[in-house]
């Protein structure tokens, strides 16, 4: 029994030390600096926030999203409804029936 308790304490102490060793200091991780060529320097700073390229990229991706996920599907649905579902060919909008002063079909309030 004493041996089991001793081994459990040893395991818990080792686990505690291991967890403490996993914490990074403010100086870690230390990565070696690599020399970049002109092309790598350009691409490293290409999408940094608040640059012209970053704003251009954001506008472009927003436009692509709007076109591919909103406008084109809406156009496809509109086309399908207009030419394949609607009873009246070549038009979704239907005119209201004409009302004349002597008409009894509609009651005007």
Q: From CA 78, how far away is CA 70, in angstroms rounded? A: 12
pLDDT average, residue stretch 59-87: 91
- The full set of domain ranges for the chain reads 42-92
Q: Indicate whether 49 pLDDT > 90.
A: no
For residue 98, name the pLDDT band (cuts at 50, 70, 90). confident
* Percentage of the chain exceeding pLDDT 70: 85
Unique residue bearing structure tokens 């251009």: 56
Per-residue tokens: 81? 């409804």
Q: From CA 35, how far away is CA 33, in angstroms rounded? A: 7
The per-residue pLDDT for 70 is 96
């Amino acid at each position: 029994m004493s041996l089991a308790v001793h081994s459990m304490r040893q395991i818990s102490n080792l686990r505690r030390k291991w967890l403490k060793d996993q914490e990074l200091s403010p100086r870690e991780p230390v990565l070696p600096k690599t020399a970049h060529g002109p092309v790598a320097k350009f691409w490293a700073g290409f999408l940094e926030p608040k640059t012209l390229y970053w704003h251009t990229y954001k506008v472009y991706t927003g436009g692509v999203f709007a076109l591919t996920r909103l406008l084109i599907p809406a156009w496809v649905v509109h086309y399908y409804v207009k030419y394949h579902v609607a009873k009246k060919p070549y038009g979704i909008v239907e005119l209201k029936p004409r009302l004349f002063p002597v008409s009894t079909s509609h009651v005007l309030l």
